Structure 1
């Protein structure tokens, strides 16, 4: 399935509990089952030009999604890194940048929330927490958002 992220399906149930406006920005419940998280990681690592390792901007146990050839605009990366466009936490939730047209639809449909650091003027306003997928249907939406983030980060500026 390849969901339309401009009109995403509504995420089932309540939103997970998060630390809200606090940093570190964590999801506190509704985690990914190990199989679902493993598939998320596998699909993320299969994106062209992506390499993984400890995050440069988050806890070292989170898996950074970095690009060998980062070509995207400033708002496509988790600063101060110049090549990390997202990372996957052990619980399955992600912090990543999204193209601006997808921000409101994904937040309104219950899939994401704005990262509090993105409220600061020196940080991109495109950083979100994408909630941990709990099943294969949710994984489809999360993977579509991940691909949109990757596309933004790997596409040459101005194209």
Structure 2
């Protein structure tokens, strides 16, 4: 299945409730079933150069997605970590960096919202919440966004980071 993240399919139903502009930035409903979250984690762990463990920038229970050899630009990482490009929370939602050209289409289609910390000038505006996938169709979109984030963090060129799955 090919997903064009510059024109993604709309996410079904209303957006999940979140804490909005508050930190910690949490999703409050519409969580991933355990098998969907497990599939998302497995896909993340299969990405070349990725290792996982407790997050360096979020609650320790969230699973950090870190790189052995980060090569992407400053905006590809969750600071102050030099190698964490995202993390998966226990309920299935992710905080991760998304290539700039994909943010508006993904937000318009109902898949993401900006992280409130990205409003601060010392943080990249590429940090978003990707809502927890609820089924296999949503998992495919989440994996495509995850791949775009990973490409951005592993590639010095921003062109490679906007390819679609």
Name the counterpart of 2:95: 95
Aligned residues of 1:72 and 1:156 also touching (Cα < 8 A): yes
Query: In 1, distance between residues paired with 2:150 and 2:2?
Result: 15
Residue 138 of structure 1 pairs with residue 138 of structure 2: yes
Aligned residues of 1:94 and 1:131 also touching (Cα < 8 A): yes
How big is the shift at 1:157? 5.2
Number of residue pairs the alignment of both structures matches = 159
Name the counterpart of 2:104: 104
Listed as ranges, the matches of 1:1-150 within 5 Å are 1-150=1-150
How big is the shift at 1:28? 0.2
Query: In 1, distance between residues paired with 2:63 and 2:125?
Result: 22
TM superposition score normalised by structure 2:
0.95
CA RMSD in angstroms, aligned pairs only: 0.9
Query: In 1, distance between residues paired with 2:104 and 2:58?
Result: 24
How big is the shift at 1:22? 0.1
Uncovered stretches (5+) of structure 1, i.e. residues with no partner? none
Uncovered stretches (5+) of structure 2, i.e. residues with no partner? 160-165
- Three-state SS of the structure 2 residue aligned to 1:128 is strand
Tell me: CA distance 1:20–1:71, structure 2 relative to 1, closer, same or farther (3 Å): same
**Deviations 1:41-84 (Å, cap 9, x if unpaired)?**
00000000000000000000000000000000000000000000
Query: In 2, distance between residues paired with 1:154 and 1:126?
Result: 15
- Three-state SS of the structure 2 residue aligned to 1:65 is strand
How big is the shift at 1:158? 6.9
